[in-house]
Chains A and B, each alone.
Chain A
Amino acid sequence: MDWTPYIAGAGIGILSWIAFLLSNKPLGCSTAYTRTSGMIERVFRGKKTEEKPYYQKFAPVVDWEWMLVAGVFIGAFITSVAVGGFSFEWVPTLFGDAFGYDTGLRLAVAFAGGILMGLGSRWAGGCTSGHGISGALQLAISSWIAVIVFFLSGIVSAFIIYGVLW
């Protein structure tokens, strides 16, 4: 039996205690992208960006959650280097074996998926961390519904993409 998912899960559960206790915040990631998107838009459109109602709710500034996502990037980098798992890769093997190792195709698909992910996570008010872990552990009704829909829709989409049923 592989214990690594249990160690990782228990570690993330304990991090959520620390986040509630020290920061009065649940773990979450998707608002960091909204804030970054606002920061980029502000470079081009200036102060008018900040007048948008959504950026009134989520101001385009570096906040706790933004630092959390930056930390996830650095933490995964350090850990992967430490265990010798770091390597540059353009096309994941599961994708490449099914659709070919064409970097342009993979980037186009990932970009399209990213747009859906950015839209969907803000539309639903959270992502796999904010709803799936933090909301679920608080027994939030919205989060249990969200995470069930995330996976049902994800499973149906993955089955269609990989042509599992035909």
Chain B
Amino acid sequence: MMFEDLHENNRLQLAIGLLIGLCFGGFLYIGGVTEYNVILGQLLLTDFTVIKVMLVAVVVGMIGVYAMKSRGMVELHPKPGSIGSTVIGGIIFGMGFAVLGYCPGTVAGAVGHGALDALFGGVTGILVGSGLFAAAYPTLDEKVLSKGVFKSMTIPDALKINPWYVVIPFCILIAAVLAGLEYFGL
């Protein structure tokens, strides 16, 4: 892995985090995805901006990150998951996504461009929800989160194949979805 000394430098890392965040916030705003109307438009299937931004980020990110991984420059950090955690948590998240109209990243960007519902409703609600989860965690971890743990971390691991045999088809598939959305004027 490259830049290991830099990874250990905590103060510099905070500055890098802030700088990456600044650009991230700028891109989220330019893409339009810090708007409630755009996010709800996606969930109501009338505006496909959110899916476009995400799919393009995934394709560009995937090619670069796997290219660096193939050269031993970076390490992957896939998250473990389970039915109890990923699926049940995902259902709750989706309900929150539709009711709030922002997610944890875009809500911060929305506050940045003056959305006061994002600040006084969204951020405070997310803080309360996170606190409730922390309080319930020991019980949830034992009874729910540990149910149906996924056996593999990544799709190439599960298939036991060279990751590029997955990366390339995924990129082609995503490009086809994007071309389809543009073709139909969505």
Contact = CB atoms under 8 A, between A and B. Distances in A.
Given A24-B75, A53-B137, A55-B134, A71 B19 contact: yes
Contact of B22 (A74, A120, A127, A150): A74
B86 A4 contact: no
Contacts of B91: 120, 149, 153
Contacts of B33: 8
Interface string A118-134: 11111111111111111
Given A115-B132, A117-B125, A128 B52 contact: no
Nearest to B13: A64
A94 B36 CA distance: 8
A150 B98 CA distance: 10
A71 B112 CA distance: 10
B108 A69 contact: yes
A21 B74 CA distance: 6
Contacts of A136: 54, 58, 62
Interface string B106-140: 11111111111110111111111111111101101
A137 to B, nearest CB: 4
Contacts of B45: 155
A127 B6 contact: no
Pick the 9 closest A-B CB pairs, nearest first: A114-B125, A71-B21, A118-B129, A153-B94, A142-B81, A110-B121, A9-B56, A75-B25, A13-B60
